[in-house]
Amino acid sequence: MTLDDFLLAFFSLDILREAWPILWQGLQQTLLLSVIVVPLGILGGTILALLSTVEHPLVRWPLMAWVDFFRALPPLVLLIFLYAGLPFAGLEISALGAVAIGFFLNTGAYYGEILRAGIESVPRGQMEAARSTGLGRGQALAHVILPQAVRNVLPDLISNTLEVVKLTSIASVVALPELLFQARQAQSVTYNATPIVAAAVIYFLLLWPVVRLLSRLENRQLAARQ
């Protein structure tokens, strides 16, 4: 294969111009998915992390089983079950609904473990000091403990959020037209790999600033510990 053939197969500007409208639609769908599933995952993780502070075994053991199950279950399998399996039980949900529920359950378990570790990193004296000022347990957790926990694990939260955004590509299995799905559609029409390469470049440009932010936060934390 000559250089011209390589460029024509992977970096054709004509193909890119032809495929750009469908890629743009896919990018918008990916951004919409990210705006929906990231807050859902954080919400689910916050609920799980707060529940993990309850020491009663009737709460603690089922919670551990819940988190372990959804961390071990492949998100692709979970998504297919929600979209294709629930209708057999009489529950019809849209593709977007299946993705939202699937990410709430799967990524919520990961966010929950990160936030739980953050809560455990806060000295116990902080809770006692907060309670001594007249705050209830819930108020102390929300206003004193949780903000410190988030600060302690912020790089991990950002890193997990990066993975969640990249994971939105699995929405293509339920025919949700996110960026990768649209790139594959364009490739099947043009018989050219340029749309896939363009999708990869878009993902890189979208996530690279967050990667740099993550590196700065990690370096700042390392400097603070020295």
Residue 1: its pLDDT value, please? 63
* Buried-state track 116-133, b at ≥16 Cβ within 10 A, e below 16: bebbeebeeeebeebeee
Task: Please report, as a single letter, which amino acid is at residue 210.
Answer: V
Residue 198: its pLDDT value, please? 93
Residue 64: its pLDDT value, please? 93
Per-residue pLDDT of the chain (226 residues; tens, 9 = 90+): 677 677 777 888 888 899 999 999 999 999 999 999 999 999 999 999 999 988 888 889 999 999 999 999 999 999 998 988 888 888 888 888 899 999 999 999 999 999 999 999 888 888 888 888 888 888 888 888 888 999 889 889 988 999 999 888 888 888 788 888 899 998 888 888 899 999 999 999 988 988 888 888 777 776 666 5
- Domain residues of the chain, as ranges? 3-225
How far is residue 197's CA from residue 29's CA, in Å, rounded to a whole number? 18
Contacts by residues 213-221 (CB-CB < 8 Å, ≥ 24 positions apart)? 213/158, 214/155, 214/158, 214/159, 214/162, 217/154, 217/155, 217/158, 218/155, 221/155
- Distance (Å) of CA 209 to CA 99, 148, 199, 216: 26, 25, 17, 11
- Give the CA radius of gyration of the chain: 22
* Angle between helix 13-51 and helix 57-72 axes, rounded to 10 deg: 160
Task: Please report, as a single letter, which amino acid is at residue 125.
Answer: G
* Angle between helix 3-10 and helix 194-225 axes, rounded to 10 deg: 80
How far is residue 146's CA from residue 153's CA, in Å, rounded to a whole number? 11
Give yes or no for a contact between 18 and 190, defined as CB atoms under 8 angstroms apart: yes
Instruction: Kindly report the CATH number that applies to the domain delimited by 3-225.
Output: 1.10.3720.10
How far is residue 186's CA from residue 196's CA, in Å, rounded to a whole number? 8
